[in-house]
Structure 1
Amino acid sequence: MGIVLNQSFKNTIITYIGFAIGGINTIYLYPVFLGATYYGLTNYITSSANVIMPLFAIGMQNTLVKFYSQYETEAERNRFLSFTVLFPLLLIIPLLFIGFLFQDEILFFLSKKNAVVKNYIWLIPFIGLCMAYFEIFYAWLRVHMHSVFGNFIKEVGLRTASLFLLMGVYFHWITVEGFVYATAVVYLIALLVTMFYAFSIQKPNFQFTIPVNTKDILTYTFYIILSGSVANLLLDGDKMILNQYMNIENIAFYSVATYIALVISVPSRAMHQIVYPITAKLMHENKHDEMNILYKKTSINLQMVGGYVMLGIFVNINMLYKMVPPEYAGGIMVVFMIGLSKYFDLILGNNNAIIFNTKYYRTVLFLGVLLVILTVGLNMIFIPLYGIIGSAFATLLSITMYSLAKLVFVVKKLDLYPFTKQTMYSLILTFVLFVAFYVWDFPFNPIISIILKSILLTVAYVYLNYRFVISTEINEVMDKYLKKFKIIK
């Protein structure tokens, strides 16, 4: 776990820096500088691009990670890398052609509720294409154990660029309309930077040939497309559906709430960058016991770190919403619902990485497709009744059911189990601290109140987790520093 902790730590720090910058953008700059309409529009475009991204990438980012370690010679690896970069074009070109043929119908359908969407529809496939190839070259870096750079571009670079663009809007260097177009340019720059860095790590030798195990690759890729589509629809599909039923400003209100809740999943995102290829290697070598140990470690470590983040958000949520325009306040319940769904998914550890590296992944992926259908149906029922809260409730139900299905599948089919008695201790500890800290706030400025309460929460959470040895690995790291500063012997 040495390399896992090392790069996971770096990725976690980078991701939290990115989320801090994104938090400034989301909570203050977007609502104030851009306004609800164009904030909602920008989120709708990027969310829609993220939904279609798996189709453009054809799952090659996951396929690259799964199969790369199985090739033994440099020639085979070069052939495979070429295939992962060039093969998506076989689907991208026809999809773009179909979109061009039916552009009038597509424009009418997507802009019938919000006319402002019409002039920006073409940015969706453009950004989706940039996202797809960014992920492919990011995977190129990950298989060479260089996950930190790509993570920096994705988490910090994109959000920092948005920060500068928002400042440009404030100083009238660009218009709010220009901001939307400039956002698309930022995604293109992120792709190009990541691509050239990947080439510096592994010089490309593109060949118009196919790998020896093409049938296995294509079969796996087909299901990964389903997997990516399922995951992204569960993440961003609700914003697409909101556009069909409500004014686009509601997407801005919903986006602020979901962004706050998504901070809970940061530890998982950071650790998975490096755990995924290690999981693929262990599964390929059939090292069941080592895999079971890794599964439990990732689960409790993510539960401990993610639980702290979730508590920090939940107990400060009322003060946090005093910092945004009043019309955004209806999103507090959205934060709780989306946050709980993310927490439950987080404590499953590297569950997804395990499933996608076994022969059983097909069944769970088809189950995921059914749950997407359920998600869309629930959104169509609850959004007209309860607005953005209805959408959050539909997402909570869907993600929870999907996570439970994956957990049961791994336990029953692979005899791998993520939980220990420490899991229950952690849940109890987290609940007790939530009750103790949620019911009161400091009567000060919201920022000062959040800082003071967070300090108290941190002291209590860290002490109790350390005292009850919730995670032996994290305790070992803490012991190292406590001994270094001579706090303990």
Structure 2
Amino acid sequence: MGIVLNQSLKNTIITYLGFGVGAINTLYLYPVFLGATYYAVTNYVLSAANVIMPLFAIGMQNTLVKYYSQYKTEEERDRFMSFTVLFPLLLCIPLGLIGLFYFDTIVYFVTKKNPIVKEFIWLIPFVGICMAYFEIFYAWARVHMHSVFGNFIKEVGLRIFSFFATIAVYFGYISPIEFVYVTAGLYFLALLITMLYAFRIKKPNFQFVIPDNVKEILEYTFYIILSGSVANLLLDGDKLMLNQYMKIDNIAYYSVATYIALVISVPSRAMHQIVYPITAKLMHEDKHDELNSLYKKTSINLQVVGGFVMLCIFVNINQLYELVPKAYSGGIVVVFMIGLSKYFDLILGNNNAIIFNSKYYRMVLFLGLFLVFLTVVLNMFFIPRFGITGSAFATLLSITLYSLAKLMFVVKRMDLYPFSKQTVWSILLTAGLFFAFYFWEFPMYPLVAIALKSILVTIAYWYLNYKFTISPEINGVIDGLLRKIKK
């Protein structure tokens, strides 16, 4: 776990730095400088692009990670990497033609409730392609154990440039409409930078040769396309559904709430960048005991770190919403619902990496497709009745059922189990501190109150976690820091 902790720690710091910049953008700059309408339009374009991104990537980012370590010679690896980069281009062309042929129908469907979206429809496939190839070249770097720089571009770089673009709106250099186009351009810039970085790590030697195991690769890729679509629909499908039933401004209110809740999943996102290829390698070498150990370690480590983040958010949520316009205050309940769903998914550790690299990924995928159908149906039922709160409840229910299904599948079929008695103690500790601090509010400026309460929560949380040795690995990190401080 040495390289995992090393790069996971760097990725976590980078990702939280990015979320810090993003928090400034999301909680203040976007609502005030862009206004709810164009903030919502920007979110809609990015969410729709993220949903269709797996179709453009054709799952090659996951395929690259799964199969790269199986090739023994440099020539075989060059051939395989060339295939993962060039093959998606062949499918982008027919997808583009289909989009052009049905363009009027698509535009009519997505703009019935909010005609303002029509002007930006063409940006969705453009951003989707940029996202797809960013992930492919990022995977190119990750298989060579270089996960930090790509994570920096994704989590920090995009948000910093977006920050400056929003400032440009404030000073009148660009309009809110132009901001949407600038945002699309930033994703193209991120793609170019990541591609050059990947080529620097491993100089490309493109070969127009099909790998020998292409049938196996394409079969895996087909299921990963569907699996990626399932995951992205569960993540962003609710925003697309809101566009169909409510005024587009509600996407802005919902986006602020979901952004706050998504901070809880940052440790998982950071760790998975490096754990995914290690999981693939252990499974390829059939090292069951090492894999089970990794599963337990990722689960409890993510639970401890993610539980701390969730606790800080939940106990400060009322003061946090005093910093945003009052129109956004309806999202507090959304934060709790989405946050709990992310926390449960977090404590499953590297569950997704295990499933995607196993021979059982097909069956879980079909279950995922059913849950996407369930999500759509639940959103159709709850959004007209309860608005953004209904959408959050539909998401909570769907993601929880999906996570439970994946957990049971890994436990039953692969004899891998992520939980221990520390899991229960961590949940009890987090719940106890929530009830101890949530109702305790300081009558002062919100930022000062948040800082003061967070300091108290931090001291109590980490002291108790260290005292009860919830995670031996995290205790080791703390011991190392204490030794350095003493020196």
Range of TM-score over shorter length: over 0.9
Q: Distance in 1 between matches of 2:109 and 2:447?
A: 43
Q: Aligned residue for 1:197?
A: 197
For residue 441 of structure 1, report the CA deviation from its aligned partner: 0.9
5+ unaligned residues in a row in structure 2: which ranges?
A: none
Q: Aligned residue for 2:221?
A: 221
Q: Deviations over 1:84-107 (max 9, x none)?
A: 001111221101111111111111
Q: Secondary structure at the match of 1:87?
A: helix
1:311-350 correspondence to structure 2 within 5 Å: 311-350=311-350
For residue 212 of structure 1, report the CA deviation from its aligned partner: 1.0
Q: Bigger CA drift: 329-338 or 212-221?
A: 212-221
Q: Distance in 2 between matches of 1:367 and 1:484?
A: 49
1:267-278 correspondence to structure 2 within 5 Å: 267-278=267-278
Q: Aligned residue for 1:414?
A: 414
Q: Secondary structure at the match of 1:71?
A: coil
The number of residues matched between the two structures is 487
For residue 482 of structure 1, report the CA deviation from its aligned partner: 1.7
Q: Aligned residue for 2:237?
A: 237
5+ unaligned residues in a row in structure 1: which ranges?
A: none
Q: Secondary structure at the match of 1:6?
A: helix
Q: Aligned residue for 1:2?
A: 2
Q: Distance in 1 between matches of 2:218 and 2:101?
A: 28
For residue 486 of structure 1, report the CA deviation from its aligned partner: 3.2
4+ aligned runs moved over 3 Å, structure 1: none
For residue 340 of structure 1, report the CA deviation from its aligned partner: 0.1
1:233-312 correspondence to structure 2 within 5 Å: 233-312=233-312
1:426 aligns with 2:441: no
For residue 241 of structure 1, report the CA deviation from its aligned partner: 0.6
Give the TM-score normalised by the residue count of structure 2.
0.99
Q: Secondary structure at the match of 2:480?
A: helix
Q: Distance in 2 between matches of 1:334 and 1:250?
A: 12
Q: Distance in 2 between matches of 1:120 and 1:349?
A: 38
Give the TM-score normalised by the residue count of structure 1.
0.99
Q: Aligned residue for 1:64?
A: 64
1:362 aligns with 2:356: no
For residue 150 of structure 1, report the CA deviation from its aligned partner: 0.3
Percentage of identical aligned residues: 75
Q: Distance in 2 between matches of 1:88 and 1:476?
A: 44
Q: Distance in 2 between matches of 1:199 and 1:451?
A: 43
Q: Secondary structure at the match of 2:486?
A: coil
Q: Aligned residue for 1:136?
A: 136
For 1:163, the aligned partner's letter is F
Q: Distance in 2 between matches of 1:35 and 1:481?
A: 44
Q: Aligned residue for 2:187?
A: 187
For residue 440 of structure 1, report the CA deviation from its aligned partner: 1.6
Q: Distance in 2 between matches of 1:44 and 1:280?
A: 34
Q: Distance in 2 between matches of 1:349 and 1:147?
A: 18
For 1:166, the aligned partner's letter is T
For 1:291, the aligned partner's letter is L
For residue 406 of structure 1, report the CA deviation from its aligned partner: 0.2
For 2:359, the aligned partner's letter is K
Q: Deviations over 1:434-463 (max 9, x none)?
A: 000001211010000000000000000000
Q: Distance in 2 between matches of 1:378 and 1:34?
A: 31
Q: Aligned residue for 2:29?
A: 29
Q: Aligned residue for 2:390?
A: 390
Q: Distance in 1 between matches of 2:96 and 2:197?
A: 28
For residue 262 of structure 1, report the CA deviation from its aligned partner: 0.1
For residue 484 of structure 1, report the CA deviation from its aligned partner: 2.9
Q: Distance in 2 between matches of 1:483 and 1:125?
A: 52
For residue 68 of structure 1, report the CA deviation from its aligned partner: 0.3
Q: Distance in 2 between matches of 1:326 and 1:481?
A: 42
For 2:196, the aligned partner's letter is F
RMSD: 0.7
For 1:466, the aligned partner's letter is Y
1:376 aligns with 2:376: yes
Q: Aligned residue for 1:107?
A: 107
